[in-house]
Every structure is written in structure tokens, then in C-alpha cells.
Amino acid sequence: MTGDEKARYNLFLLLVAGLGGLLYGVDVGIIAGALPYLEATSGLNAGQLSMVAAAVLLGSVISTLFAGALSDWMGRRLLMALSGMLFVASIPAIALSHGYEPLVLGRLLQGISAGLIGVVVPLYLAECLAATDRGKGTGIFQWLLTLGIVAAALVGMFFSIRVDQVAKLGDPAKLFTFKDAAWRSIFWVSLPPGVLFVIGSFMVAESPRWLFRRGKRDAAREALLRSRTNEQANLELREMEEAAAAERAQTSTGSKIKESLLRRKYVIPFVLACVILACNQATGVNSIILYNANILLQSGLSDVQAHWGYVIFTIVNFLATIGGVVLVDRKGRKFLLTMGTAGIIVSLVGTGFLFRQRERLRVDSSSAVQSMVSSDQKVTLTYDRNMAKALLSATGGGAHLSGAPTSLVVIYSYGDFRAATKAVRSDEAAATAIAITRESCVPANNVVAFFSNPFGDLKAARHAPLKIDNALITPVPGQSTGWMVAMTLFVFMAFYAVGPGVCVWLALSELMPTRIRSNGMSIALLLNQAVSTGIAAVFLPTVGKYGYATMFWAFAGCTVIYFLTATVFLPETKGKTLEEIEAHFEGREESDLAHA
């Protein structure tokens, strides 16, 4: 192959891997736009809708656990194609469904696809790209992942505007039909990139390092030559042989300690990757994305402004990721992670202070709401100015909030399971009723119950009385405060995207030695998802009881650990081959890497 052909192949490889990132982003963001219309037309109850939304998480957890073993067994390229085919199959399963079970099955397929993509694509890129391009390649995966989230947000906004136009016609039947078509169309839109990803996966070469470990030396060399010069291919092949020889020599000594995977070269990078993955989620990024519109609404923006704020938020993520892609192979991973986490800490602390100014004035009206519980253990109330006045009067301590716009969040429980209502404002033009029911809190089955509360007694919760834990009334800030909160969140997203957003996938794939890379990445990503799930589960109850300020400051505290890990313990891996990074953690050639 000529130099131009190699350059075109490298570009094609990045495009295929980027499509994997696009699918991952669509998996994350698409349900937000579809869920309101699905809820309005499907006839599913709250528990079933929760399961439809959470099925992606369940599928992702399952597939992430086995993705490493599967990639070792069937190869990186074939697993990429399989993950794409699962995504393609999920679209008609969801869009053509007319019931609960097909919806859950389709969402499970999407989750399984996302879990496989999250492991195998960064793994494939790390093993296929030259050291000088590895950062840019993995960055493009993240960049197109953010594009998927932006695309999902824009598609949701497009259908939101169309639904509003149909609603103005005043024809309920036509509105119902359009909403039913809207959520199905939102899923159909994501089909073409899935098809392209499958086709592209069959057109790229297999990972040379996977081929080498399977004893296919000549095939590994051919795979290297598709993207490298003869000199580069021979050098990397020689490094693979030296690393394999060193591993065989250590194993042949007969020492149980040296044969074990509990050696310095395995334990240190594995633990470091796990800490980085856990801290990456502990910044709160997924919950801030998931609840962004609600956060902005409670900060003082109107409903339309809050939704446009979310669109801007996703665009900031997309644009800042471009900066990360450009800088990652120039400035290095350590620099970007240090800068990014420092900016995240400042922005989170600032967001917390803006919310704290109002939240310190909040009033708990739980006893008044508890008195509204009906004999069938339900509460339905419409929170408008009159209801706000009545609840404040009942508490006897809300004189300072009288007449001002306020928001209400109710935290309630049935036995061991707790839920929180969406925050509603007293100044909404068309206030919707808050419906507190057992179905909105108690999981529909044991699978959902496990992810909600692994130690909860589901059987007892189905008969337990309703308890109003908190009913917190908080003054709503003005629009100026709302836009200041929006700005701090835009700053948060920019620093996250340029630092952790790009570098976390690199840290995951680069730090792991070849022998444990696939399975180690699976375990680390499983930990990543467990932290993300835990934060998502406690976010609304914590915000409801303690306020957004407490939650944002907790995220900032966790990010301090992230900052220290990146600054003190993470070695710079820019421009190093995977074998050189492995030698560093073994203690060989350590000075070369430490001073990079």
C-alpha cells in the first residue's frame, strides 16, 4: 500500500470507530426525547416505563461483564460487527412494538449493543492505531459519541416543536396519533448509522495484537502494514515478540508469585484505571446530562429556556470535545486530565453556591402533604399559587416565601423503596397534578427492585403505607440566576469534554497490559456503570432532601480525588507504544516514561 492509501485507510478506520461512538451516544440520549410521547400513548404504567428506560442499563451491565471474554474469543472486529447488528435489530423491535415485552426486548438489545461497543471499540483503537494517532483516534470516538447525544437532543426538540403545533389544532385524536408516530420516528432516525457501522466493521483489519496472541504472526504484520510503514510495523512486531518472550520467561521460573496476575505490572494499571473510571462518573456528568433540563428549570429558567439550555449544553459538549481531540496527542493525557478536573471543581463549587442562596430558605411541608394521603395510600395535588399558600400556611413557618414563586419536591416511600416527584413550580401557566402512587415508587419486578434497592423487601413494599418523607418548598430564583447556573454548567461540560471526556477512554485502553486488557476493561467499565447507576439512583432523593447545592458540592469533592489521581499517580502515555507503557508498570525503562 502507498502512503496515501495508508492515510485513507487510517481515516476510514477512524470513521468506522467513530460510528461506534455515535451509536453509543444515541443509546444514551435517545430515550429522553421519546419517553414523553411513549408515556402519553403506550398505556404503560410508571413501573413499566421505568423498566423500558432502565432496560438499556441492564443490557449494558450484562454485556460489559462478558465483552472482554467475547472479544478475546471471537476477535475485536467480529465483536464490533455483532454489536452493530444488535443495535440495528433493536430499532424495528422498538419502533414496531405494540406492547410492553417487545419494548423491553428492544431496549435490552440496545443496552447489550452499547455495553459491547463501550469495551470493544476503544480496545480496538488502542491496539490498531500507531502511538502518535492513538489519542486522536480514541478522541474521535468520544467526539462522535457527543454528536450522538446532540443529535438525540435536536431530534427530540424537533418533535417537541411539531407536537406543540399539532396540539394547537385542538384535535385530541390527531394529537394522540402524532405522538405515537413521534416516538417511533425518533428511534427510526437512528437506524442508518447502525447499518453503516456494521458494514464498516467487516471492511477494517483485525487487531494486530489479537492476531499475534492467537499465533498468527504473518496476519498481524499484514494488519500493521495497512496503517503503518514497514519500519513502524517491524518495530511494533518486535516489541510484541519481546513482551511475549519476557512473559514466557517469567512464567517458566516456576514462581507462583510471578505466574500470578497479582503482579505490579497488572495490579497498578488495573487499579489506576478503575479509580479513574469511578471518579469519572463521580463528577456527576451522567446525572447532570440526564437531569439538565430539570436543573435549569429549578434554577429560574422557563420550561422553553431550560430545554434550549440543554440543547446548548450538548453542543458545548460536542464543540469542546473537538478541542480535546486536537490537544490530546499534543499536550498529553495527564495535562488534559489535570486541567479538565480543575475546571470541573471550580464550576461545580460555583453551581452549588448559586443554588445555596435560595435553598437555605426552603420549608418542609411534609406533615401537610401527609394529611392528604387517601385511604388507598395515594396523593394527588396540583401545585399552583393557591396550593403553595395553603401548604406554607399549614407549616406555620413560611411567611418569608409568601407571594413569591416557589417549587415543590415530594420525597416519599412505600416500605424500603423511595422515590421523588419531579420538581413543579407554582408559577407554571398550566400546572400539572402531582400523582404519588405505589406504581410510581415500588418496582414492578425483582430485576428493577435489585437495581433500585438490592436489600429492599419488594413483597412488603407492595402493601406498605405511603410515607411522605419530605415535601420541600423552595423559592424559585430569577432568570438572571438561572442563566448564571446555565453558564456554570456550560463551563463544567466544556472542561469535562476537553479533559476526562476524551482521556477516560484512553486511560482505560492504554493502561491495561495486553494480557488483561480486554477483561480488565470489562471490569473497569462495569465499575464505571455501577457508580453511574448509584449516583442516578440517589440523585433526585438527595436533591429533594438536601438540595442541589449539596449534590454539586459532593460531586466537586469526588473530583478532587480525580484531580489528585491524575496529577500525582497517572504517568504520561503520549507517544508511547502499548508495550512501552506495559514496561513502565513492570519497572523496566521507567525513567523514559516518567519524564515524558
Per-residue pLDDT of the chain (596 residues; tens, 9 = 90+): 566 777 788 788 878 877 887 887 776 677 766 777 787 787 776 556 666 776 777 788 788 778 878 888 888 889 999 999 999 999 999 989 888 888 889 988 988 988 888 888 878 877 787 766 666 776 777 778 788 878 777 787 788 778 778 877 878 888 888 888 888 888 888 888 889 889 988 988 888 888 888 888 888 888 888 878 788 888 888 877 877 777 676 655 544 444 445 666 677 878 888 888 888 889 988 788 777 777 887 787 776 777 788 888 888 988 898 888 888 778 878 889 999 999 999 999 999 999 888 878 888 888 999 999 999 999 998 888 888 888 888 887 666 666 678 888 888 999 988 887 777 778 775 566 788 988 888 887 787 777 667 788 999 999 999 999 888 888 877 788 889 999 999 999 999 999 888 887 777 667 776 666 667 767 777 777 778 767 776 776 777 678 889 999 999 999 999 999 888 888 877 767 666 777 776 665 444 444 44
Residue with cell 471518579: 279
Cα gap 86→90, rounded to integer Å: 6
Residue whose C-alpha is closest to residue 135's, from 14, 44, 32, 7: 14
Confidence at residue 54, expressed as pLDDT on a 0 to 100 scale: 67
- Does residue 457 sit in helix, strand or coil? coil
Cα gap 347→532, rounded to integer Å: 20
The amino acid present at 473, given as its one-letter code, is I
Residue with cell 429558567: 301
Find out whether 369 and 483 touch, Cβ atoms under 8 Å.
no
Q: What is the residue-wise DSSP string for 262-296?
A: -SHHHHHHHHHHHHHHHHHHHTTHHHHHHTHHHHH
Ranges of beta strands (E only) in 398-506 are 406-414, 417-420, 424-425, 433-436, 466-475
Q: What is the residue-wise DSSP string for 175-243?
A: HHHHHHHHHHHHHHTTHHHHHHHHHHHTTSPPPHHHHHHTT-HHHHHHHHHTTS-HHHHHHHHHHHHHH
Confidence at residue 591, expressed as pLDDT on a 0 to 100 scale: 44
| Top-tier CATH class for 1-228 | mainly alpha
Cell representation of residue 553: 458540592
Find out whether 187 and 157 touch, Cβ atoms under 8 Å.
no
Cell representation of residue 172: 385530541
Residue with cell 421505568: 50
Ranges of beta strands (E only) in 246-392 are 363-364, 379-382
Cα gap 494→503, rounded to integer Å: 14
Find out whether 204 and 76 touch, Cβ atoms under 8 Å.
no
Predicted TM-score (pTM) of this structure: 0.70
- Domain boundaries defined on the chain: 1-228, 363-444+455-481
- Does residue 429 sit in helix, strand or coil? coil
Cα gap 370→278, rounded to integer Å: 38
